[in-house]
Amino acid sequence: MLRVGLSGGIGSGKSTVARRLAEHGAVVIDADRLAREVVEPGTDGLREVVAAFGEDVLDAHGALNRAALAAKVFGDEQALATLNGITHPRIAARTAELIAAAPEDAIVVHDVPLLVEKEMAPLYHLVLIVHADVDQRLARLRGRGMAEDDARRRIAAQADDDRRRAVADVWLDNSGTPDLVLARVDALWADRLVRYEANVRLRRHASGPPIVVPYDETWPVQAARVAARIRLAAGGRRVEHIGSTSVPGLAAKDVLDFQLAVTSLDEAAELEEALTQAGFPGLGIGEDTVRHGGDDQSRWLKRLHAGADPGRRVNLHVRVEGGPGWTWAMRFRDWLRADARARDEYAAVKRELSERHRGDADGFAYGDAKEPWMDAATARMDAFYRDGHTS
């Protein structure tokens, strides 16, 4: 099962996108609809709302009068907390029920207007944001019959584009005609979501050839998103963005590397299932190959995981915090961040080797070929820290 979070400002075209995903077979869970369902006539939810706020929140037919209720909670934090205390647990329970009822190979799309505001992004394998400019959204909402000042008020109450961009794994621009965005949804479904779902279910990671590309300014933001997911799956443990993509200016394979801190390899093994479910299947035990002087080799063991998303490759090294592998990775990153000459030299070595190993589908031969340079670099790095630099 793949969990996709879908959001976007009001009028951006979120419902249009959700409908198309449903046509492809996605199980769409509409958070707004559930919010209405839990207070429909005849529900416990509505009875509790009436008990807390009085009969005057009902209309003549005994249904909830939203405007009357809104007037009672507006600007009153305690009243709002009371209302949320009634509705939120019911919405959450119903959402969990619908997810549990979905088939094992489902692509579940959770349509949540306030996904960004409620900081829900790390819960999903992928977050999809639909975007259109404010003026376009106002025009479309007018077309749907909403009064302009009402539309403006709703837009102002929502997150801004910068916050949305930060959590978007996929940014779907809907400023063109509906056909354009729907074609992009079709491609996203076939090229990414279907393959991602299969990978998660079958515990496969995404792979690709070791092609070195110029430094990408968006790597830190992408890394922050992925790190938040890993951290959540790993019970809040420390996650560090490491490797070439963590060094500004350095050319690299488009694969984000992370290390997750554990206190022992046994603890790493206990996290395997949660990380796999979160989209980072385990590859077993690995050994860090850069070693120095007579260290006990078992201390260089780690558990390896890799990302299942075909649109965002990730390597995840689960290492004992403060152990030699952990420390080496942090020092190597910080040395390359500090030393422009080493950075340029490393980029040249990587480019040459990636050219030579173009046909290497998983990058292992490329990785091995880098080892001699890495060994020499480790000695230079040690000298750098001996000279009084601190990591």
Bridge partners of residue 105, in order along the sequence: none
Crossing angle for the helix pair 324-338 and 340-356, to the nearest 10 degrees: 110
* Single residue of 4, 181, 242, 306 touching ligand ADP by CB under 6 A: 181
Q: Under the criterion CB under 6 A, does residue 158 sit at the interface with ligand ADP?
A: no
Closer CB to ligand ADP, residue 49 or residue 132?
A: 132
Q: Under the criterion CB under 6 A, does residue 14 sit at the interface with ligand ADP?
A: yes
Q: How far is CA 114 from CA 7, 34, 71, 146, 181, in A?
A: 7, 14, 21, 19, 21
Question: What is the end-to-end Cα distance of the chain in Å, rounded?
Answer: 41
Q: Under the criterion CB under 6 A, does residue 140 sit at the interface with ligand ADP?
A: yes
**Number of neighbouring beta carbons within 10 Å of residue 336:** 22
Closer CB to ligand ADP, residue 69 or residue 130?
A: 130
Question: Least distance from C-beta 311 to ligand ADP, angstroms?
Answer: 23
CB environment 278-288: b (16+ within 10 A), e (fewer): bbbbbeeebeb
Question: Least distance from C-beta 7 to ligand ADP, angstroms?
Answer: 9
From 171-179, 235-243, 244-252, 360-368, span contacting ligand ADP (CB under 6 A): 171-179
Closer CB to ligand ADP, residue 12 or residue 199?
A: 12
* Single residue of 21, 174, 247, 370 touching ligand ADP by CB under 6 A: 174
* Single residue of 12, 199, 246, 354 touching ligand ADP by CB under 6 A: 12
Closer CB to ligand ADP, residue 153 or residue 203?
A: 153
Binding residues: 11-16
Return residues touching ligand ADP (CB under 6 A). 8, 10-16, 140, 143-144, 174, 177-178, 181
